[in-house]
Structure 1
């Protein structure tokens, strides 16, 4: 397993992994209109633009991209809000430790950046995973309109 930063040549495969997760996984616990809204925000051109402000990574196994995840500051320089973003594993690779390995990589990157808190806008299908990774539900951040559960993890004491 090899984790590296995304490059332009990865965009099509990464978009496909994300779309598959919306179509095959997220649809199980979310309204169709919510899934479509997220699909529309995660096309190749959107990912290309996100590369300018997110640290996006991919996981490769034997040359095949099997997962993606990013660290993104959804705040500003005065009040940063670093979050895990676009975190997806190919559905056939779920429950094989790939998500955990990628999350641990992102966690160490965040720690190296001296980030105090890490957030995640979790889908209903991702909630249990993020809880196992150490996130707790953040009652102060509510986003029911998008069927998202904000979760937070303290990184530094």
Structure 2
């Protein structure tokens, strides 16, 4: 199983949408009520992904040219890190985050921030992110986390 990490293209938008919606429905649904999942899904339609591709640096992980995961960087904010449920726990999210970190270093970013879901808090914590605060958006709880990038 050879995973490739690359910059996303507009042709990847349907697959990115599929990966995110699958992850929301199978993984995040364990931590959030159905109405929150339904609301969040609306932000990740194919059309929404196409728009995000013009606003952020979006990356995908592929196996045999099939998109299985995604992550993006919006200036200094990590966003939309999702791995297909059947591939979670295999290090693919970590590979995407290594790419994000490399881009951050190349852009002289000193602090990475991430608005984490409850579901992903442990993932980011293992990567060295620390909780700053909780935010509530209606019934959706987000954990704001950050990580300093050391250049020494």
TM-score scaled by structure 2?
0.92
Give the structure 2 partner of residue 33 of structure 1. 35
| 1:144 is aligned to 2:136 | yes
- Cα distance, 1:7 vs structure 2: 0.8
| 1:117 is aligned to 2:119 | no
Give the structure 1 partner of residue 50 of structure 2. 48
| 1:134 is aligned to 2:128 | yes
How far apart, in 1, do the equivalents of 2:129 and 2:120 lie?
Answer: 11
| 1:97 is aligned to 2:130 | no
What secondary structure does 2:90 align onto? coil
- Cα distance, 1:36 vs structure 2: 1.5
How far apart, in 1, do the equivalents of 2:37 and 2:74 lie?
Answer: 21
Give the structure 2 partner of residue 78 of structure 1. none
How far apart, in 2, do the equivalents of 1:84 and 1:67 lie?
Answer: 14
Is the 1:34–1:147 Cα contact (8 Å) retained in structure 2? no
How far apart, in 1, do the equivalents of 2:130 and 2:89 lie?
Answer: 21
Give runs of aligned pairs for residues 15-94 of structure 1, distance below 5 A. Answer: 15-73=17-75, 82-94=76-88
* Cα distance per residue 1:94-139 (max 9 Å; x no partner): 1111111111111111111000110111111100000000100013
Q: For this pair of structures, how many residues does the alignment match?
A: 147
- Cα distance, 1:156 vs structure 2: 3.4
Runs of 4+ in 1 over 2 A off after TM superposition: none
- Cα distance, 1:92 vs structure 2: 0.1
TM-score scaled by structure 1?
0.90
